[in-house]
């Protein structure tokens, strides 16, 4: 079965300033890798519309969205020491959110989907942009899933950084469970094991430099803990590829094969229920491309 890859060309436009690691070339590298002729048979491409306000305001307060829109209309500016809205970034932010929403719709329709969301989202809080993120794509996706009749949603985040925004947005909501493995202590500083939300948060903080088998095993163990006595209707993956060995922003030691194995293991646990991944980090272009290809192959 092919998997659906959801994209929007405007995700290229966001520009965070010279030398910023979250750069337009990331988007191009992912597209180029997925357009390889040998992948044509496993991918159905779908172009998403940008998100409208209503879907965004399920997660983010209207005055925060208006603040971003106003800043964008003035040509952009800094929101955080490492998070900048460039002249055309708002187009990318809305497109990225739209990609996440459409990926959920497609995943429910066909079983699996991957959304090329850029900018990423898992650090974005309800009313605060940070860590290269403006809107929380994966939580927008979770609310969309619930709107479409999938009340219980499991979010698994394998980006090397803790998805602090995702945790903050779901930690009082038992309909969503959140599993995150991340380097710790590391940016953004959150994600300790005793941060449990209402019993729905499963953090797996780990130091950098461990043998890859340890990380590979521990994320699956975390997912199994979240699945104990609980059946999600849908799985969303915050797929960051900065957890691969050699990424400049992380010190984990994973290989693309681990992405393949994780995806297969999670699909096995979900059976016929939809599995949808959205892109988070990943800052060495060749690793990002290899990780995305491994994920998409394992979703197909």
Closer CB to Zn ion, residue 91 or residue 159? Answer: 159
Which lies closer to Zn ion via its Cβ, residue 87 or residue 189? 189
Q: Which of residues 225-254 bind Zn ion (CB under 5 A)?
A: 240, 242
CB of 243 to Zn ion, least distance (A): 8
Q: Cα 78 from chain centroid?
A: 22
- Closest approach, Cβ 178 to Zn ion, in A, equals 15
> Interface with Zn ion includes 157 (CB under 5 A)?
no
Q: Are 240 and 161 in contact, with CB atoms under 8 Å apart?
A: yes
CB of 53 to Zn ion, least distance (A): 27
Q: Is 161 a catalytic residue?
A: no
Residue 36 makes CB contacts below 8 A (sequence gap 6+) with 293
| 277-296 positions binding Zn ion, by CB under 5 A | 281
Closest separation between CB of residue 169 and Zn ion, Å?
17
72 or 84: CB nearest Zn ion? 84
CB of 99 to Zn ion, least distance (A): 18
Q: Which residue is nearest to Zn ion (CB)?
A: 281
Strands 43-47 and 153-157: unpaired
If binding is defined by CB under 5 A, does position 161 make contact with Zn ion? Answer: yes
Cβ closest to Zn ion, residue 188 vs residue 222: 188
Residue 123 engages Zn ion in binding (rule: CB under 5 A) = no
The full length of the chain comes to 300
Contacts of 271 (CB under 8 A, 6+ apart): none
Is there binding between residue 258 and Zn ion (CB under 5 A)?
no
H or E, element range at 87: none
Name the H helices within the chain.
Answer: 24-34, 53-56, 62-73, 89-110, 137-147, 164-170, 212-227, 256-270, 285-299
Residue of 60, 122, 123, 161 marked catalytic: 123
Number of residues that bind Zn ion (CB under 5 A): 5
Residue in this structure with the two tokens 């409208």, named with its chain if needed: 52
- The answer to whether the Cα torsion of 12, 76, 99, 221 is positive or negative is positive
Instruction: Quote the distance between the C-alpha of residue 115 and its chain's center.
Output: 9
The verdict on 121 binding Zn ion (CB under 5 A) reads no
Query: Which residues here bind Zn ion, judged by CB under 5 A?
Result: 159, 161, 240, 242, 281
Q: Which residues are known to be catalytic?
A: 123
């Amino acid at each position: 079965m092919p998997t659906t890859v959801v994209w929007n060309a405007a995700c290229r436009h966001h520009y965070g300033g010279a030398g910023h690691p979250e750069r337009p070339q990331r988007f191009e590298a992912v597209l180029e890798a997925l357009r390889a002729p040998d992948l044509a048979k496993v991918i159905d491409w779908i172009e998403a519309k940008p998100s409208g306000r209503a879907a965004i305001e399920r997660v983010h307060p209207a005055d925060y969205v208006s603040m971003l829109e106003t800043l964008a209309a003035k040509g952009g500016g800094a929101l955080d020491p490492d998070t900048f809205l460039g002249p055309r970034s708002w187009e990318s932010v809305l497109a990225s959110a739209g990609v996440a929403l459409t990926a959920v719709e497609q995943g429910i329709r066909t079983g699996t989907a991957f959304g090329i969301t850029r900018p990423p989202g898992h650090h974005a809080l309800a009313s605060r942009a940070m860590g290269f993120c403006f809107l929380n794509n994966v939580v927008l996706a979770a609310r969309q899933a619930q709107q479409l009749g999938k009340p219980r949603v499991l979010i698994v985040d394998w980006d090397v950084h803790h998805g602090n925004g995702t945790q903050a947005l779901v930690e009082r909501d038992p309909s969503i469970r959140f599993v995150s493995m991340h380097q710790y202590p590391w940016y953004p500083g959150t994600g300790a094991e005793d941060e449990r939300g209402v019993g729905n948060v499963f953090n797996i903080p780990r130091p950098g430099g461990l043998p890859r088998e340890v990380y590979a095993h521990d994320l699956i163990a975390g997912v199994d803990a979240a699945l104990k006595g609980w059946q999600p209707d849908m799985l969303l993956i915050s797929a960051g590829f900065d957890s691969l060995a050699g990424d400049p922003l992380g010190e984990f030691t994973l290989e693309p094969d681990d992405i393949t194995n994780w995806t297969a293991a999670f699909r096995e646990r979900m059976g016929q229920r939809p599995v949808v991944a959205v892109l988070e980090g990943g800052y060495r272009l060749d690793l990002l491309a290899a990780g995305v290809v491994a994920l998409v192959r394992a979703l197909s």
